Structure 1
Amino acid sequence: MPVVVVGNVTVGGTGKTPFVIALVNALLAQGVKPGVVSRGYGAQGLKAPREVTPGSDPIMVGDEPLLIARKTGVPVVVSPKRPDAVRCLLGNSSVDLIISDDGLQHYALGRDREIVLIDAVRALGNGHCLPAGPLRDPPSRLATVDHTLFRGGTNADTGFSYQLDLLTQLTTGEQRTPSPAALGDAVHAVAGIGQPEQFFAQLRATGFEVIAYSYPDHHKFQASDFASMDDRPIIMTEKDAVKCAAFADARMWSLSISTRVPDVVVDDILELSAESHTKV
C-alpha cells in the first residue's frame, strides 16, 4: 500500500491539513480512494487507533483529523503510532493509498513519497535546528524529499496559496461571501492555529476591521473564551469551529479556505497509485 507523507521541516503551521484536504479531494476526483492517518494531537486519552467519522467528538480524535473527515468523507484513523493507524485503517476500509497528515519525522512509518510544505515568506528562518532556530530537520533534509512546495509561491509546480471561500454560521449553517458587506466592517477574529496572524491578515485584506484574539495551536475552546466579546460577529477558522459547535451562538461564523495542489504533485501520486496496483 503506497504511503504519502505531507509534512514540514519547520515548527509552526504551514497549512498541512488544508493541503491534505485538497490533495485527497483531487485524488477522489480522479477515481483514487485515499485513506488518511494522523497523530491526533490533543485527542483525550489516545493510546490506540481510533477511527474518525464526521460525527466524532473533537476532544476524542483531535480537531484536524475531524476536519479532514468532514471535508473529504474518506476513512481517517488517528494514533500516536502511525503504523498502528495504518493497520487499523486497512483492516476496516478499502483504500488505494495512505496519506499521512504530518509525520515527516515519524520514521516508524514507511513512505513512498514525501511532500514538504514551507512558508514562502518565513522560509527556513535562520537555518538552524531547534532550539537555536525554527527547523525540525537541517536544510539538507530537503534534498531527500520528493516535492518541496511553498505556500505563497507563484511557481505553478512548486507554489500554492489559500483562497477564502465561504462564511458559515455555526448554529444555522447559513453561508455568506466573506466581506464586510456580509457581516459588517468590524469583527472579532479568533484563531488557535500555528500562525494566527496570517488568518487575521487575510481578513484585513478582505476589508474587515479585525479585533484579534490569538490562542495556542489546538486550543480547546470553551464558552468562557467568548464571554467578554460584544455582539459583533466572531469569525474563526474551520479547525477552531469544530471545537465550538456544542456552545455556538448566533455571533459565530467559520471561514472556509481552499487551495489547488500543483498538477505535477497530483500526477505523481496518481502514477504511484497506478504502479502499486499494477504490481499487485
Structure 2
Amino acid sequence: MLSITSFINHSKFGLVNFLLLPFSAIFFIFSYIRLCLYKVRLLKVSVSSVPVIVIGNITAGGTGKTPIVIAVANYFASRNKIVGVVSRGYGGEYTQESLEVTLTSDPINCGDEPLLIKQQTEAFVVVAKKRSNAVKFLTENYSVDLIISDDGLQHYAMGRDIEIAVIDGHNRLGNGWFLPAGPLRETKKRLKSVDFIINNGSHMEGEISSKIEANCYINLATNEKKDLDFFKSKKCFAIAGIGNPDNFYSLLEELGVNLITKTFADHHKFIEKDFEFKGGYPILMTAKDCVKCKQFATSQMWYLSVDAKISSDFYQQLESKL
C-alpha cells in the first residue's frame, strides 16, 4: 500500500494539491447533486426556440476554445446562417441581466473574449451571468438561426442541442482530479455524453483534430501586417494573460522568435504600466489580450493573428446533427 509520500511522488500531485483533496471531494459531491437535480428537472432548464451549440470543456484553464467558437461561427455565417453567440463575459464588470456586445464595447465591461468574438465574426454577441438569459435576449431581439455558447458545458439551466467538448491535446485532463486539487469540473465520463470531442493540438482516436495556425503579425497602433518570418531570430517580449500561456509561447518559438516572457493571470485587465520594459524590443501578444490594450497601443505592440483549423469533415457532421 502506497504511503502518502509515495502517492504524492508517483502522481502528478504536489503537496498543495494533496492538501486540497477534501475540497475537491466537496466540489465533486455538489456538482454531482446539481447535475442530478437538472436531469430530473427539479431545477429548471430553459429551452430555446432555435438550436443551441455549446462549445465548452470539462477542465478549468485554457483549451483554445474561443478560436474554435470563432471558426464555427464563421463557418455558419459562410452558409448564410444568422448566428448568435452567448458568453458569461468572465471578468466583465457589467451589471445588466444581459448585455449586447458591439464593436465599440469596453472589454473591461463586457469581458475580453466576447469582444474578440464580436470583432472576428458577424455574430450577434450577448453576455449574461446566466447564459440562458443571453439566449433569451437573442431569440427575443434577433431572428437568429442558431446560437453558440462560448463555454457553458456545465450551465445546465441553458438547454442545448449539441455539446462540443474541447480538450488541450497536450495537457488533456491534467492530474485527473477535481477542482481545486486538479483541473476537472466534471468527471471524465462526461466526455462520453457529448456529441463531439475536439482535440486541440494533437490526435486521438474518436476525437476531432484541431490546430491553432498563425496567420500574420498585426500592429496594434497602425494595423500594419507582417509575415510570420518578420520576427524570426529577433528578441521580443511575449506577453500573455490567457489560460494556457505556454501554448502561445511555444507557437512563437516555432516561428523562430527569441522570447522574453511575462505572464499575467487569465483575463488580466492590462494597464499601460504593464508594458514598461527596458530594451525597446517588440512586444508580442494574443488577439484576446490586445483588445484590452487599444487605448494605450504603441507601434511597439503587435499581436499574432491565428485561426483554428478543424478536420474538414467536422462541419458536415455538425450540420447533420442540427
TM-score (norm 2): 0.81
Q: What is the CA distance between 1:40 and its match in structure 2?
A: 0.6
In structure 2, the residue matched to 1:106 is 155
In structure 1, the residue matched to 2:13 is none
Contact 1:54 1:73 in 2 (8 A): no
- Could you tell me which of 65, 78, 83 is aligned with 1:16? 65
In structure 1, the residue matched to 2:208 is 158
The 2-side partners of 1:68 and 1:253 are apart by 19
Q: Residue 53 and residue 229 in structure 1: after superposition, are their counterparts in 2 closer, same or farther (change >3 A)?
A: farther
In structure 2, the residue matched to 1:222 is 271
- Could you tell me which of 283, 286, 290 is aligned with 1:237? 286
SS of equivalent residue, structure 2 residue 114 = helix
Q: What is the CA distance between 1:52 and its match in structure 2?
A: 0.7
In structure 2, the residue matched to 1:3 is 52
In structure 2, the residue matched to 1:39 is 88
The alignment covers a number of residue pairs equal to 272
Q: What is the CA distance between 1:191 and its match in structure 2?
A: 0.3
Contact 1:52 1:77 in 2 (8 A): yes
Larger Rg over CA atoms? 2
Q: What is the CA distance between 1:184 and its match in structure 2?
A: 6.1
Q: Residue 54 and residue 229 in structure 1: after superposition, are their counterparts in 2 closer, same or farther (change >3 A)?
A: farther
The question of 1:172 aligning with 2:194 is answered no
Counterpart mapping for 1:1-280 below 5 A: 1-154=50-203, 158-179=208-229, 181-182=230-231, 185-273=234-322
Q: What is the CA distance between 1:3 and its match in structure 2?
A: 0.5
The 2-side partners of 1:272 and 1:54 are apart by 32
Q: Residues 151-201 of structure 1: CA distance to partner in whole angstroms, max 9, x if unpaired? A: 11246961111111111111111000122x457610000000001111111
Write the letter of the residue equivalent to 2:252.
Answer: L
Contact 1:46 1:80 in 2 (8 A): no
SS of equivalent residue, structure 1 residue 236 = strand
Contact 2:57 2:165 in 1 (8 A): yes
The 2-side partners of 1:183 and 1:126 are apart by 35
The 2-side partners of 1:15 and 1:21 are apart by 11
Consecutive aligned runs of 4 or more in structure 1 exceeding 6 Å deviation: none
Contact 2:231 2:256 in 1 (8 A): no
Structure 2 unaligned spans of 5+: 1-49
The 2-side partners of 1:228 and 1:182 are apart by 18
Contact 1:2 1:272 in 2 (8 A): no
The 2-side partners of 1:125 and 1:171 are apart by 38
Write the letter of the residue equivalent to 2:218.
Answer: T
The 1-side partners of 2:312 and 2:213 are apart by 17
Q: What is the CA distance between 1:140 and its match in structure 2?
A: 0.8
Structure 1 unaligned spans of 5+: 274-280
Larger displacement relative to structure 2 (155-164 or 82-91): 155-164
In structure 2, the residue matched to 1:277 is none
Larger displacement relative to structure 2 (143-152 or 261-270): 261-270
Contact 2:287 2:303 in 1 (8 A): yes
Q: Residues 16-65 of structure 1: CA distance to partner in whole angstroms, max 9, x if unpaired? A: 11110011111112222221000011111334101011221111111000
Q: What is the CA distance between 1:91 and its match in structure 2?
A: 2.1
The 2-side partners of 1:163 and 1:226 are apart by 26
In structure 2, the residue matched to 1:278 is none
Contact 1:58 1:242 in 2 (8 A): yes
Write the letter of the residue equivalent to 1:58.
Answer: P
Q: What is the CA distance between 1:261 and its match in structure 2?
A: 2.7
The 2-side partners of 1:113 and 1:142 are apart by 13
Contact 2:74 2:122 in 1 (8 A): no
SS of equivalent residue, structure 2 residue 184 = coil
Contact 1:171 1:248 in 2 (8 A): yes
Q: Residues 194-230 of structure 1: CA distance to partner in whole angstroms, max 9, x if unpaired? A: 0111111111111110000100000000000011343
Q: What is the CA distance between 1:264 and its match in structure 2?
A: 3.8
Write the letter of the residue equivalent to 1:269.
Answer: L
The 2-side partners of 1:239 and 1:71 are apart by 11
**Cα RMSD between the aligned structures?**
1.6
Write the letter of the residue equivalent to 1:142.
Answer: L
Q: Residues 118-149 of structure 1: CA distance to partner in whole angstroms, max 9, x if unpaired? A: 11211112222123321110011111111011
